[in-house]
Amino acid sequence: MSQQFQVPQFIDIEDKIIGPLTLKQFGYLAIAGAFSFVLFFVLVTWLWIVITVLLTGMAAGLAFIKYNGRPLLVMLGAMGKYFWQPKFYLWKSKPATVAGADIKFGPLPKQGISKNPLKNLLLRMSTSKSSIAGREKKSPEATQAALKGEGLRTT
């Protein structure tokens, strides 16, 4: 028996509370409207109009503008944080100290040729860059078979 559950979808979309506006959008516009209402009684008409236009523009921007799916307030906060915090440039950093960097190593001892001929051959084979005379000997049977074209037999 398996039970089915309904999973909510579109959980990243805010609820529309007041008409087509979310609560945040309505709050931005309501605060701008309240400031404009108070300033109407305090300021001269021409100054009130200028400030009201600026307040309305800022409130509308905060309420409706989204950049890359993020609200304008978040983008302004990131911009302020970028300008306010000190910059850290990696290319101006001081060299990091590595643990164990103060250990001194002496020169490695040279590997001399040993008196044992087998070890001597192994050392020469593993470290030489040129061919070693007498390292490989061709068998006369393999040479004759290759010349005749017989090659290897496959069964």
pLDDT, mean over the chain: 80
Q: Are 22 and 64 in contact (CB under 8 A)?
A: no
pTM more than 0.85? no
pLDDT of residue 77: 93
pLDDT of residue 14: 78
- If one compares 130 and 78, the residue with the highest pLDDT of the two is 78
Provide the token pair at 92: 């101006």
pLDDT of residue 108: 74
The answer, yes or no, to whether residue 59 has pLDDT greater than 60, is yes
Mean pLDDT of 38-59: 96
- 6-23 per-position pLDDT tens digit: 888 877 777 888 889 999
- 61-91 per-position pLDDT tens digit: 999 999 888 999 999 999 999 999 887 666 6
Sketch the domain layout of the chain as residue ranges: 16-84
pLDDT of residue 27: 94
Q: Can you give the chain as a three-state secondary structure string?
A: CCCCCCCCCCCCCCCEEECCEEHHHHHHHHHHHHHHHHHHHHCCHHHHHHHHHHHHHHHHHHHHCEECCEEHHHHHHHHHHHHHCCCCCHHHCCCCCCCCCCCCCCCCCCCCCCCCHHHHHHHHHHHCCCCCCCCCCCCHHHHHHHHHCCCCCCC
> Which of 114, 135, 110 minimizes the C-alpha distance to 123?
114
Residues 6+ apart with CB under 8 A from 85: none
Structure confidence at residue 111 as a pLDDT band (50, 70, 90) = low
